[in-house]
Chains A and B, each alone.
Chain A
Amino acid sequence: MAAAVQDDGINPWRTFASDFAEKKLAVLGLIVFVALIAAAIFAPWITPQNPYDLNQIDFLDGRLEPGSVGSQITYWLGTDDQGRDLLSGIFYGLRTSLAVGAASTLIALVLGGALGLFAAYFGGRVDTLIMRIADLQLSFPAILIALILVSALGQGVDKVIISLVAVQWAYYARTIRGTALVERRKEYVEAATCLAISHRRIVFKHLMPNCTPPLIVVGTVQVAHAISLEATLSFLGIGVPITEPSLGLLIKNGFDYMLSGDYWVSFYPGLALLITIVSINLVGDQLRDVLNPRLKK
C-alpha cells in the first residue's frame, strides 16, 4: 500500500494536510488549539504572575475590574477574590484542564483500544465478556458513572483521570472492535496466521495499524468531552482539588461573585473553556471528514 502511493510520487502526509486545510475554520481551530497548548505548557514563563505564589499576590487587589492597574502589574482580565491575576490563573488552569483531558483520553484510548482489539481478534467468550461490560456501561449516562466513581474514589487529579478513563474506554473499545472485525477477515491476517506468527505480533503489528484512523477521530472529539466533563465535576466541587485548579474550578470560584455583578471572575475562565472545546471540536470534525474514505472524491 505504502509502496504504491510512493510510486505515484504523492506523499500521503501532504495529501492529508492539503485535505485538512480545505476548511479554513478547521485550520483556525487547529491554530487556536496549538496556541492554547503552548500557553498551557509555557504558563510559568509567560504569565505576569504566579497566582499560587503568595509572595506575588496582593490581597488588597481582590476583585479588581479587568484592565485595573494593581500594585505591581496591570490585571488585563481583572482579579479574583484573593487578588490573583485572572489571566495568569487561566493559563495555569488551562494547564490542569488540558493535562487531565489529554492524559485520560490517552489512557482510555490505549486501554479501550487494546481491549476492543482482543475482543475482535479472539472472539468467543473474551469478546462477549468485554463487549457486555462496555454495553452495560454505555447504557448509563457518562455523568452518572463519573459521579459514582468520584464519590467512591474521592478528590484528586489522579482520581478524576481514573473516572474519565472509566467513562471513556468503552467508546474506543467499540470503535476499534467494529473496524477490527472487518480487518480480521482480510487476507493479510490469514497470511500472517498461516506463517505461524504469534498472536501478539498479529494483533499489534498487523491488525492494529490498520484499525487506528477511526480511533484517532474518536480520540480527538473525546478530548473535548473529557475536558468538559472534568470542568463539570470540578464546578460541582467534586473534581480536582483547590491546589491544582482547572478552568472548571476557577469558574466555580467566581460563580459566587457573579450575582453581585463581578462577572469577570468566572466569565473569562468560562470563555477560555469555551474556546478550548470549540477549537478541538472544529479540528475533530475536519479530521473525521478527511479520514472518512466514503467522503473521498
Chain B
Amino acid sequence: MLAFTIRRLSQSVVVLFVMSIIVFAGVYAIGNPVDILINPEADIAEQEETIRRLGLDKPIWTQYGLFLANALQGDLGNSFVHNLPALDIIFQRLPATLELAFLAVGLAVVFGVPLGMLAGLKPDSVVGRVIMTGSILGFSLPTFWVGLMLIMLFSVNMGWLPASGRGETVDLFGIPVSFLTLDGLSHLFLPAFNLALFKMSLVIRLARSGTREVLLQDYIKFARAKGVSDARIIGVHVLKNIMIPVVTVLGLELGSVIAFAVVTETVFAWPGIGKLLIDSISHLDRPVVVAYLLLTVTMFIVINFVVDILYSILDPRVRLGGAN
C-alpha cells in the first residue's frame, strides 16, 4: 500500500512538473507583454526599467527557474494588469466560482435524480423517452449556446431574471456570497442552471440505468411481497441504492464543473476565475493565466490522486495490477 502510494505520488509530481513547463513555455509565447504594458511614449530608459522590473529581460530558462522557485513558495508572480499577486486575485474570485459550481452540482442532483428515476421506472413511456431525448440534447448542445437561449428567453423576452453579474452579496465568514440575498439568488439561478445542464444529463443517465438495475433485485421483490407501499420502495429502497454511483461520479466531476465554468461565467459575466482567465488571456496578463492553469491542473491531479488511492483501498486489485 505504501509503495503504491509513493509510486502514485511521484507520478503526480512528475505530471505537475511537466504541466508547469508546458504552461509556462506555452504562455510565454503568446505575445510580447512589453508592448502592452509600457506607455508607447515612454523613453528607452523608462522602457528598460520596466522590462527589468518585470524580469522580462532574462532568458526564458532563467525566467522559468525563478518562476518555479517562487511557485514552490506560493508566489506565482504579480499580475501585469492589476499589479497584485496573481494568486491573490484568483483566490479573491474563487468564492464566486465555487458558489456557482456547488449550486450547479446541487441542481444537477435535485433535477437529475427524479427525472432519471422516472425514466427508469417507465422506460418505454412517452415521458421516459422525452427525458432521455432531453438528456441527449444536454450532452450534445454547446453550453454557451444554451446559456444564450436562457438569456434570450428569461432575461430579454420575459424579463424575469437578470442576465449578468452577481447581484447583491452578503459576507459569510468574510467571504462575499450571493445565495443569501434574493437579488443574489436571482442572479445566480440562470448561470447555475446553465452550468448544471451537462451534469444533469449525466445524472439522468446514471439514475435511469441504476433504477432499472435495482428494480430487478431480490430486496425490491421482497419489499413488494411484504406489502411496502410503492412510494416507499421508490423513495427509500431504490433512491438510496442509486445514489452511490451518482455521488461518486459527481465528486469526480466537480473539477470539470469548475473548468467548464469558464464558458458559463463568460456568457453571464459572472465575476469568477473563469471570466478572469478569459480576460487575462485577452490582456496577455501572463502571471494570472499561468496561475489559473497551474491551479486547475493541480486541482485535477490532486482529485485523481485521491480517487486512485481510495479505489486501491476499496479494491486491492487496482494496486496489485499496477505493480507489474
Given contacts A258-B156, A261-B156, A263-B156, contact A270 B296 (CB under 8 A): no
How many A-B residue pairs lie within 8 Å, measured between CB atoms?
107
With A141-B259, A151-B26, A277-B140 known as contacts, the answer to whether A259 contacts B163 (CB < 8 A) is yes
Tell whether A139 pairs with B148 under 8 Å between CB atoms, given A148-B23, A152-B26, A236-B262. no
* Residues of A with C-beta under 8 A to B297: 140, 144, 148
Whether A278 pairs with B140 at a CB distance below 8 angstroms is: yes
Choose one: B136, B259, B267, B281; the contact of A144 (CB below 8 Å): B259
Question: Given contacts A140-B297, A236-B266, is CB(A258)–CB(B29) below 8 Å?
Answer: no
Which of the segments A58-66, A109-117, A208-216, A224-232 contacts the partner chain? A224-232
B27:A281 contact, CB within 8 angstroms: no
B residues 258-282 touching A (CB-CB < 8 Å) = 259-260, 262-263, 266-267, 277-278, 281-282
CB pair A228–B140 under 8 Å, yes or no, is yes
Could you show 24 A-B contacts with beta carbons less than 8 Å apart?
Answer: A139-B304, A140-B259, A141-B255, A143-B262, A143-B263, A147-B259, A149-B26, A151-B26, A151-B27, A151-B289, A151-B293, A152-B22, A152-B23, A152-B25, A153-B26, A228-B141, A228-B142, A229-B142, A235-B266, A236-B262, A236-B278, A237-B278, A258-B151, A270-B148
Chain A nearest CB, measured from B322 CB (Å):
11
Residues of A within 8 A of B27 (CB): 151-152
Q: Which of B75-117 contact A (CB under 8 A)?
A: none
B219 on the A face (CB < 8 A)? no
Task: Give the one of B27, B140, B296 with max A CB within 10 A.
Answer: B140
CB within 8 Å of A: which B219-271 residues: 255-256, 259-260, 262-263, 266-267
**Do residues B278 and A139 form an inter-chain contact, with CB atoms below 8 A?**
no
Question: Are the CB atoms of B148 and A274 closer together than 8 Å?
Answer: no
Q: Which 9 A-B pairs have the closest CB atoms?
A: A152-B26, A141-B256, A144-B259, A228-B142, A235-B144, A141-B259, A281-B140, A151-B281, A139-B304
- Supposing A148-B26, A258-B151, A258-B156 touch, asked if A274 and B141 sit within 8 A by C-beta, the answer is yes
Quote the shortest CB–CB distance from A252 to chain B (angstroms): 9
B4 within 8 A of A: no
B155 CB-CB contact with A under 8 Å: yes
Q: What's the minimum C-beta distance from A259 to chain B, rounded to whole angstroms?
A: 6
0/1 interface trace, chain B 290-312, chain A, CB 8 Å (1 if under): 00010011001000100000000
B156 touches A232 (CB 8 A): no
Alpha-carbon distance A270/B137, docked complex (angstroms)? 15
Measured in the bound complex, the distance between the Cα atoms of B141 and A224 in whole Å is 9
In the complex, which residues of chain B have a beta carbon less than 8 angstroms from the beta carbon of A154? 29-31
Q: Is A26 an interface residue (CB 8 A)?
A: no
Please name all residues of chain B whose beta carbon is closer than 8 Å to the beta carbon of A139 when the two chains form the complex: 300, 304
Measured in the bound complex, the distance between the Cα atoms of B140 and A278 in whole Å is 8
- In the complex, the answer to whether B136 meets A281 with C-beta atoms within 8 Å is yes
Given A140-B259, A228-B140, output 4 extra A-B contacts at Cβ < 8 Å.
A139-B300, A141-B255, A153-B29, A263-B156
Interface residues of B in 3-52 (CB under 8 A from A): 15, 22-23, 25-27, 29-31
Please give, as numbers and ranges, the residues of chain B lying within 8 Å of A237 by CB-CB distance.
278, 282
B149 within 8 A of A: yes
A204 to B42, CA, bound (A): 62
CB distance from B157 to the nearest CB of A (A): 8
Judge if A170 is at the interface, Cβ distance under 8 Å: no
Q: How far is the CB of A124 from chain B (nearest CB, A)?
A: 13
Could you tell me if A251 and B145 are in contact, using CB atoms closer than 8 angstroms?
yes
Does A20 belong to the interface (CB within 8 Å)?
no
Residue B152 at the chain A interface, CB threshold 8 Å: yes
**Cβ contacts under 8 Å, B29 to chain A:** 152-154
Q: Mark A222-251, 1 if CB is under 8 A from B, else 0.
A: 001000110110011110000000001001
Whether, in the assembled complex, A220 has its beta carbon less than 8 Å from a beta carbon of chain B, the answer is no
